[in-house]
Structure 1
């Protein structure tokens, strides 16, 4: 069984479709016998994914900073709640525990967390799959931006091809569990002609 890290918003978003997706993902991870690790909050999509996994009998590990915990944002019903001193330690702990990463819709924090682990995959720091659950086209503009990076010579196509993007959570989890990324040379040949 695997430990799946889910990054997602501490807010609900403006459409119930996001909450529904978070609930399905939490329930799916637990029902398949996997452990959920996430940011340890009780609000928004974070709370929803954790509650769904717990309700399905799953193990849920939350990692939250002391600052956020002191503001009473921490989820009190988790299997394991780890309180750390900094956001850096929070992200490193989640990344170390995880066998793969899924980003649900969220804000800047979600984007920052996901970008870091995807960068680590790209650099070969860890051989862990990174996936975006594209709920109702939420991540379509981001994927278009990644393609723009490729078109402009800042990202290799073979690196982008390792990003998993699915709108179906079952298919997404299956790919996260079974597709392991390769390491490609990150730096493009500077002696080559300009694109």
Structure 2
């Protein structure tokens, strides 16, 4: 490790633009995409802002750690899918669920009722061709000006990345699963 000097001056000046809703993307093959989005949701909720979370691959009855905690905090989270594609028995049904789920998410975004709408795992129905990209782009472009939208998932379409205000790519450096350690409750659920 190389030691460096701590900064003694702020390395930036405050932007002069107006505050507005942002499109934020967390993508890449590394861990932490959903976790980062959930952190933003918690920050917003902590400021008494209305938040809604949609999970495009989780089933409506999902009871992962995030569901239990968000329920306790009063943050609505809704599974829209039927599990990851390798668990689905019928991809046509998965596609229909993605389209129905998108209509719910779209309505929430366009209503302006939420400060933040999280579209967790939305890239998967997009890249599988289950959900057309054009209506997602149109909704992101025409949403009310104060609505923040956070999108997560691997291989985010370049059109969304181009439109987004902030994009973070999680890079896989090392993963316990590859060393034979199974997923653990409280870490990956």
Same fold (TM over 0.5): no
Q: Which structure shows the bigger proportion of residues in helix conformation?
A: 1
Computing the radius of gyration over CA atoms, which structure comes out larger, 1 or 2?
A: 2
What TM-score bracket applies, with the shorter chain setting the length?
A: 0.3 to 0.5
Higher relative contact order (CA 8 A, sep 6+): 2
Q: TM-score, normalised by structure 2?
A: 0.38
Tell me the TM-score normalised to structure 1 length.
Answer: 0.37
